[in-house]
Amino acid sequence: MASIIIPSSSSSSSTSSLLRSHNLSNNKQSFHQIASIRSEGVSIRSSIAKFSKNPLISRGSSWNRRSRSGGFRCSAVDSSVLPSALLFDCDGVLVDTEKDGHRVSFNDTFTEKELGVTWDVDLYGELLKIGGGKERMTAYFNETGWPENAPKGEQERKEFIASLHKRKTELFMVLIEKKLLPLRPGVAKLIDQAFAKGIKVAVCSTSNEKAVSAIVSFLLGPERAAKIQIFAGDVVPRKKPDPAIYNLAATTLGVEPSRCVVVEDSGIGLAAAKAAGMTCIVTKSGYTADEDFKNADAVFDCIGDPPEERFDLAFCTNLLQKQYA
């Protein structure tokens, strides 16, 4: 298993101290427990040193030497084991949306509705361990107490959460339409390489379908968007880390899970991809730098564009080749 760990300059605060800072001392159960979060430290190693020692790579293999940018490219790739599909997560993979996109939109919604709630950067990082915005809000309010102006009945609360999420999505889409959040480096390049080889491309996300479609359309452009299938939001009843969304994508696209390569940025996304029987490359994002990705097939800080390219389609193909060797 290839595992390239990119150093991070900061470490996340512990969940317990984070909750204390939010005056949640009256809760019997920390949000850490609600989200089933375990903050296991990720050892920091040089990506170059780690890769050079990897058992997947030998001097006689088809892997080329490290490029000047520190990325890796492959040659002598067997086209018979090209990926059947590249599947991308959205938030944190296509765009680093969480801190300055979704979080801001949630807070603006809470302010509009006069809920007296603000999710700061650290707290939101913990909340991201819960897949789905509606699920995130529900778990938070269940743990910390519902706002005074929230309804009391279970069904009414579901409708209340749905209305909050709808408004949050509207605010988020304004940010996307204004192109205030850029694509992460290398995303368009890798997608174009896949299209050139006839490989199917899809986006599989727990986020609202309208928000994901806006990102794909406005930031990748209409020509690419027309070729990309989107699986998002409530299209499946169980969200990541459940593999349902990746299983649905494989079935709908008519491809074998073992011939899919997934690009994820989070532990729950990685767990979903691996549970579906797929190869998974992690590109760490702002909130996931310290997560444990030991089960990933490769880990980078981004995909990267030349001259700072980290990996390309040939790299993805070679990961699959190792499975069939």
DSSP notation for 284-318:
--TTTTTS--TTSSEEES----TTS----HHHHHH
Closest of 137, 168, 141, 167 to residue 152, by C-alpha: 141
Could you tell me the CATH superfamily of domain 45-96+182-324? HAD superfamily/HAD-like (3.40.50.1000)
In this predicted structure, the answer to whether residue 293 has a pLDDT above a threshold of 50 is yes
Report d(CA 79, CA 85) in Å as an integer.
Answer: 14
Model confidence at 79, pLDDT cuts 50, 70, 90, reads: low
Judged by average pLDDT, the poorest of 58-62, 107-111, 225-229, 255-259 is 58-62
Task: Give domain limits for the chain.
Answer: 45-96+182-324
Higher pLDDT, 48 or 308: 308
Higher pLDDT, 28 or 255: 255
Model confidence at 71, pLDDT cuts 50, 70, 90, reads: low
Higher pLDDT, 91 or 3: 91
Secondary-structure breakdown of the chain: helix, strand, coil percentages, each rounded to the nearest 5: 45, 10, 45
The pLDDT value given to residue 102 = 94
Judged by average pLDDT, the poorest of 38-47, 130-139, 240-249 is 38-47
Higher pLDDT, 80 or 240: 240
Report d(CA 276, CA 271) in Å as an integer.
Answer: 9
In this predicted structure, the answer to whether residue 271 has a pLDDT above a threshold of 80 is yes
The pLDDT value given to residue 78 = 62
Give the mean pLDDT of the chain: 82
Catalytic residues: 89, 91
Closest of 47, 71, 4 to residue 307, by C-alpha: 71
**Helix (H) or strand (E) segment spanning residue 183:** none
Mean pLDDT over residues 286-294, rounded? 93
Mean pLDDT over residues 188-212, rounded? 96
